[in-house]
Structure 1
């Protein structure tokens, strides 16, 4: 199989993962941490110390079913890419808007998507999404994996309208 990976930070990883899990062509997801300056961070480390890691969702997808451009469209639609280091009530660098690219093609597509959004003036404020080369993915603790599937929908996630977004996808 010719599967590829995509990694996005868009706020609380619980909601981000729940939405990507529903897409045709997404083979697997994991949540974790990327982009920081410490090895093997824990959730507590990321939340309460200066690790500079983002909460991310790593997506394994089949490019014959869903394109990276389609994943980018979902990424930009599920969060506010104009808020620096926050999504809804969740505040901190771990909640930043980030695209971690795995190769030059993903980088080019991400930069093109950003340019289209900026040129289209879809937002009144500047887009603050960072586009960075993927680094080591540190898988989050087991209780964070497939959180919504395992725990049900809770109000704790800053994505806020996860229920609505999932219903729209049905």
Structure 2
């Protein structure tokens, strides 16, 4: 596990940039090499990074994100229900579809949050305590511009030398996104004392606040 990721996940209370390596800070803070076009109006992004409760919670606390919806991406409509997806055989990933204002938060900044707060980018088909292909980390570009930025950022992080293992985050072609059951939506907001949320997801939100204070907002964005 990367030292920066470990510090974020397990040492949120003492996390500081001074405690991380300079190269790690530079990689996560540097703009991607690909120039991003000026986006107009709200944009949509889809990310997978383990259990969607935590992914949704982190991006719901991100400035510029106007909605975050948990759901399933990569499989068919017939199998887009939790009881089937959770078995790991439907080709879906637990994912979150967000709408964001690019004048407040850029797509590459969302990728930085995905890599450094939400998910360990070296893990294959698992995150935290969860195992299975439905917990894979993935980026789903919605257009050619997002794909170019994602490819550039993955190359940039892969060349950083911060990980002994290769970057495993996948770029997947966009397919239909299926919203998850109602009880999964805003789960962290509605269940702050849930044991899983306290152990695995609340630290990620705290890491967002510590790592990206300019992009953190205390109020949870629902929708």
What pairs with 1:1-170 in structure 2 (closer than 5 Å)? 2-39=41-78, 41-48=80-87, 50-77=89-116, 78-156=118-196, 160-168=199-207, 169=209
Root mean square deviation of aligned Cα:
1.8
Could you list the structure 1 runs, at least 4 aligned residues long, displaced by more than 4 angstroms after superposition. none
Distance 1:79 1:99 in 2: 12
The structure that has the greater radius of gyration is: 2
Shift of 1:163: 2.0
* Number of the residue aligned with 2:212: none
More strand by share: 1
Distance 1:53 1:7, change over 3 A: same
Shift of 1:167: 2.5
1:66-96: CA deviation from partner (whole Å, max 9, x where unpaired): 0000000000012111111001210000000
Q: Distance in 1 between matches of 2:87 and 2:77?
A: 13
Normalising by structure 2, we get a TM-score of 0.71
* Cα displacement (A) at 1:41: 1.1
Change in 2 beyond 3 A, CA 1:49/1:127? closer
User: Which stretches in structure 2 are left out of the alignment for 5+ residues?
Assistant: 1-39, 210-215, 217-223
| Aligned mates of 2:169, 2:90 — CA distance in 1 | 19
* Change beyond 3 A, Cα 1:163–1:54: same
Separation in 2, partners of 1:99, 1:118? 15
State how far apart, in whole Å, the 2-side matches of 1:109 and 1:92 are.
27
How many pairs align?
169
Task: State the shift of 1:25 in Å.
Answer: 0.2
2: distance between equivalents of 1:82 and 1:42?
27
More helix by share: 2
